[in-house]
């Protein structure tokens, strides 16, 4: 419980995105005050070494010259500035009114079958209502349930009534700062997500935190700094989800000013309270818990530590008795880099409601991500401009995401695995294709395949281009390559997000195990990817846990992200259980042996 944040950090951090622009132009864009102001959610300084190792997501975007596109994401050597002729320059990242689509009547398609509300201006956030037009794959069959839609409208009302700037919020902050902990009937309760890690981890963690807020009738606030709104539009009408900075008068004593200072063993954490006797078990043996006589009342706030490597007592968060206790706490501060939604399905107080919310268990992040995350106009301009220039004419877009965690892993081994996967699954043509023959075969004017490569290294792109450049009518393309992960880089995050969405617009995905960046892309797309096995990030040897007899890639059971660090403890039974034997819609991940994910019951073999 007293481990440092470095020791407890989840290794599943996302990859860095890459760029293809001149060093002088990129340097100029990053050093201006505008680009530095675009930094999303500052990273915690829990330790200097941890802060220096921020991992960022890398997305591969395949460019298609009127053909099917293939996306490749990769990590490895190389230099920051890309050489691909169709790279995504920094000049794409601006909001150009000339590119706005003409006014249109918002329909059910624009609102994603009721998932979104029409209470926003189209011009204020183009991606919110234009998003649906870029996704034509089979995922369109996923419809949000009426019950989930009703829960969203209720949450929006709660966020508006209790959010920043309201009398209810001001009163709640005053009570928090003064140490008052007893809730009155109808009083607002809050969940503050403490952001850290790379963009992929943050998006997965925010989606999980939001769902937990919906289940527990809490207002979700994001602790992300003054520039957090530069990547995503506000998801809730007439309010903000960004946590305001404490005023200077309360800066030194407000719990909200110390959010980046908590650790797994902090005295304010749920795990620590359970260890130190602040919470007692019922003498009747019914599993109920209550605040100890010494505590007398719940604390005004609790820190919830759900980061990778968290301890046994922290994992009791997923027990029903502890959840009933947490309802009495006005403020919860949550630190997580996990997609812990599968764990909520295994938490007894939430199981039934979640099953009603999501009849299709393999589409949870699909709906959460499409509801919460809407790129700002500047990012969306880059996404749509690149898409129309390189991908729109393709009959089929294929994304290949290559992520390498161990520097000592030979690039040729990674390339052989990638090419073996593509060949074995017949994802790209074995013989040259032409626009004429491909179009005729499909009865349309679209041409065949195109390969889109994004990577931290240009090496994988070049090798894939050598292999398939003469076979696919659309050629092989790479938007960028940085050579290494970049932390605390504003332009980097914007580019990573744009490439993540471009990858999600593909029709076929090959991803790398453990990669949260790939999880987000597949979840937004609603596509089951082919996953290439990887040794965990923390492994000393890149071969650790890998069996050379295994196929180069395996098809994921669903598009859902993997929960890397679940709790196997059955609270009622008082022992560990095999998690994929508990519910018919919970399965082990193909890439993380101890991880679990949600699958559709109809497709399971439980």
Q: How confident is the model at residue 62 (pLDDT cuts 50, 70, 90)?
A: very low
Same domain, 404 and 318: no
* Same domain for 249 and 393: no
* Mean pLDDT computed over 410-432: 89
Q: Are residues 305 and 405 in the same domain?
A: no
pLDDT of residue 57: 37
Residue 371 to residues 128, 144, 153, 195, 494, Cα–Cα distance (Å): 9, 10, 11, 19, 19
Task: Dig out the tokens for 606 from the structure.
Answer: 């439980």
| pLDDT interval class at 412 (50, 70, 90) | very high
Torsion of CA 98, 102, 106, 109, to 10 degrees: -80
537 and 412 within one domain: yes
Tell whether the model's pLDDT for residue 27 goes beyond 50.
no
Question: What is the Cα–Cα distance from 315 to 565, expressed in whole angstroms?
Answer: 10
Q: Is residue 395 part of a domain?
A: yes
What average pLDDT does range 308-315 have in this prediction?
Answer: 90
Answer yes or no: is pLDDT of 441 > 60.
Answer: no
Q: What is the pLDDT of residue 456?
A: 67
Are residue 352 and residue 427 in the same domain, yes or no?
Answer: no
Give the Å distances, CA to CA, from 346 to 333, 580, 599. 22, 11, 14
CB 532 within 8 A of CB 510: yes
**Final residue in a domain of this structure, among 339, 359, 379:** 359
CATH number of the domain to which 459 belongs: 3.40.50.11350
Beta carbons within 10 angstroms of residue 99's beta carbon:
14
Whether residue 76 is predicted with pLDDT greater than 80 in this model: the reply is no
> Smallest Cα–Cα separation from 508: which of 428, 393, 390?
428
Q: Which of 524, 264, 513 is nearest to 375 (CA)?
A: 524
Based on the fold, state whether residues 275 and 399 are members of the same structural domain: no
Angle made by CA atoms 146, 148, 151, in degrees to the nearest 5: 110
Instruction: Mark whether 395 and 299 lie in a shared domain.
Output: no
In a domain, 14, yes or no: no
Q: Is residue 247 part of a domain?
A: yes
The mean of the pLDDT values for the chain is: 78
Whole-model pTM?
0.83
**How far apart are the C-alpha atoms of 482 and 60, rounded to whole Å?**
12
Query: What per-residue confidence (pLDDT) applies to 599?
Result: 96
Residue 15 placed within a domain: no
Residues 271 and 173 in one domain: yes
E strand map for 325-388: 331-335
Per-residue pLDDT tens for 239-283? 999 999 877 766 678 899 888 888 777 888 899 888 887 777 664
Examine the domain organization and report whether 197 and 325 are in the same domain: yes
On whether both 192 and 338 belong to a single domain, the answer is yes
Distance CA 393, CA 563 (A): 36
- pLDDT for res 563: 97
Give percent of the chain above pLDDT 90.
40
For residue 569 the two structure tokens come to: 């403890």
Give pLDDT tens digits for 536-554: 877 888 888 888 888 999 9
Please count the structural domains in the chain.
2
pLDDT bucket at 225, cuts 50 / 70 / 90:
low
**239, 302: one domain:** yes
Q: Where are the beta strands (DSSP E) in 537-580?
A: 553-555, 569-570, 575-576
From 359, 376, 411, the end of a domain falls on 359
Final residue in a domain of this structure, among 306, 338, 359: 359
CA distance 586 to 604: 9
Average confidence (pLDDT) over 295-322: 89
Q: Which pLDDT band, with edges at 50, 70 and 90, does 488 fall under?
A: low
| Among the listed residues 55, 51, 8, the one whose alpha carbon sits nearest the alpha carbon of residue 516 | 55
- Report the C-alpha gap between 537 and 512 in whole angstroms: 12
Higher-confidence residue of 289 and 524: namely 524
Distance CA 36, CA 29 (A): 9
**What is the pLDDT at residue 588?**
95
Q: Are residues 281 and 166 in the same domain?
A: yes
In degrees, to the nearest 5, what angle opens at C-alpha 202 toward C-alphas 197 and 207? 155
Is the pLDDT higher at 286 or at 589? 589
Share above pLDDT 70 across residues of the chain, in percent, rounded to a whole number: 74
- 92 found inside a domain: no
Q: Is 349 a residue whose pLDDT tops 70?
A: yes
What confidence category does residue 386 fall into, taking pLDDT thresholds of 50, 70 and 90? confident
Each residue's pLDDT tens digit, 325-338: 999 999 999 999 99
> Is pLDDT at 70 greater than 60 in this prediction?
no
Q: Residue ranges of the alpha helices (H) in 443-592? A: 458-468, 490-504, 516-525
Pick from 537, 591, 583, 534: nearest CA to 560: 591
What pLDDT score does 595 carry?
95
20 located within any domain = no
**Angle, helix 364-372 to helix 516-525, in steps of 10 degrees:** 90
CA 458, chain centre distance (Å): 25
Write the CB contacts of 495 (distance below 8 Å, at least 6 apart in sequence).
17, 18, 19, 88, 93, 382, 480
Highest mean pLDDT among 481-485, 487-491, 528-532 belongs to: 528-532
Tell me the three-class secondary structure of 36-64, residue by residue. HCCCCCCCCCCCHHHHCCCCCCCCCCCCC
Strand 596-598, strand 586-588: pairing: antiparallel
Least confidently predicted of 59-73, 108-122, 296-310: 59-73
Element (H, E) at 390: helix 377-390
pLDDT digits (tens, 9 = 90+) for 560-596: 999 999 999 999 888 999 998 899 999 999 999 899 9
148 has pLDDT over 50: yes
Strand bridging mode 279-281 / 289-291: antiparallel
User: Can you give the residue range of the structural domain that contains 560?
Assistant: 389-432+447-603
Q: Is the pLDDT reported for residue 210 higher than 60?
A: yes
507 belongs to a structural domain: yes
Position 61 in a domain: no
Spatial distance between the Cα atoms of 284 and 262, rounded to a whole number of angstroms: 34
Give the C-alpha separation, 540 to 542, whole Å. 7
Q: Which of 91-95, 307-311, 418-422, 573-577 has the lowest mean pLDDT?
A: 91-95
Contact 557, 599 (CB under 8 A): yes
pLDDT at position 172 over 50: yes
- Alpha-helix residue ranges (DSSP H) falling in 38-145: 48-51, 126-130
């Amino acid at each position: 419980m007293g481990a440092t944040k470095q020791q407890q950090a989840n290794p599943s951090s996302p990859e860095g995105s890459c760029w293809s622009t001149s060093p002088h132009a990129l340097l100029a864009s990053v050093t201006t005050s505008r680009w530095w102001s675009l930094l999303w959610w500052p990273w915690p300084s829990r330790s200097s070494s941890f802060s220096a190792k921020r991992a960022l997501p890398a997305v591969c975007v395949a460019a298609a010259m009127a053909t099917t596109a293939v996306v490749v994401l990769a990590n490895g050597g190389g230099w920051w500035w890309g050489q691909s002729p169709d790279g995504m320059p920094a000049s794409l990242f601006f909001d150009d009114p000339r590119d706005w689509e003409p006014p249109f009547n918002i329909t059910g398609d624009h609102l994603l079958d009721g998932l979104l509300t029409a209470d926003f201006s189209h011009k204020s956030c183009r991606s919110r209502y234009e998003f649906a037009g870029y996704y034509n794959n089979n995922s369109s069959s996923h419809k949000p349930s009426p019950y989930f839609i009703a829960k969203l409208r209720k949450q929006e009302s709660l966020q508006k009534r209790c959010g920043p700037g309201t009398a209810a919020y001001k009163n709640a902050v005053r009570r928090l700062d003064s140490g008052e902990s007893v809730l009155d009937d109808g009083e607002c309760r809050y969940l503050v997500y403490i952001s850290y890690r790379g963009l992929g981890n943050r998006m997965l963690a925010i989606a999980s935190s939001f769902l937990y807020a919906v289940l527990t009738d809490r207002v979700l606030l994001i602790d992300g700094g003054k520039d957090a709104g530069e990547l995503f539009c506000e998801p809730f009408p007439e309010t903000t989800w960004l946590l305001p900075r404490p005023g200077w008068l309360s800066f030194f004593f407000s719990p909200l000013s110390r959010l980046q200072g908590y650790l797994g063993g902090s005295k304010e954490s749920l795990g620590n309270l359970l260890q130190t006797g602040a919470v007692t078990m019922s003498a009747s043996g019914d599993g109920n818990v209550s605040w100890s006589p010494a505590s007398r009342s719940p604390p005004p706030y609790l820190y919830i530590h759900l980061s990778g490597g968290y301890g046994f007592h922290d994992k009791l968060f997923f027990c029903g008795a502890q959840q009933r206790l947490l309802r009495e706490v006005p403020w919860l501060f949550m630190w997580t880099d996990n997609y812990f939604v599968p764990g909520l399905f295994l938490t007894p107080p939430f199981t039934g409601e979640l099953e009603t919310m999501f009849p299709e268990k393999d589409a949870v992040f699909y709906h959460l991500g499409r509801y919460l995350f809407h790129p700002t106009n500047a990012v969306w301009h880059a996404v749509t401009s690149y898409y129309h220039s390189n991908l729109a004419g393709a009959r089929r877009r294929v994304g290949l995401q290559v992520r390498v965690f161990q520097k000592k892993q030979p690039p040729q081994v990674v390339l052989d695995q990638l090419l073996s996967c593509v060949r074995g699954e017949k994802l790209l043509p074995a013989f040259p294709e032409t626009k004429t023959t491909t179009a005729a075969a499909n009865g349309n004017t679209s041409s065949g395949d195109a390969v889109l490569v994004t990577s931290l290294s240009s090496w994988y792109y070049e090798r894939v281009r050598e292999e398939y450049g003469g076979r696919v009518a659309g050629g092989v393309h790479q938007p960028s390559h940085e050579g290494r992960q970049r932390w605390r880089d504003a332009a980097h995050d914007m580019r990573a997000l744009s490439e993540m969405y471009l990858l999600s617009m593909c029709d076929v995905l090959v991803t790398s195990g453990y990669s949260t960046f790939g999880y987000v892309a597949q979840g937004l797309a609603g596509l089951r990817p082919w996953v290439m096995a990887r040794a965990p990030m923390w492994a000393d040897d890149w071969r650790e846990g890998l069996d050379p007899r295994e196929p180069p890639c395996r098809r994921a059971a669903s598009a859902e992200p993997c929960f890397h660090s679940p709790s196997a403890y059955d609270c009622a039974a008082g022992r560990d259980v095999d998690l994929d034997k508990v519910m018919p819609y919970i399965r082990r991940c193909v890439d993380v042996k101890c991880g679990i994910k949600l699958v559709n019951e109809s497709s399971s073999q439980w």
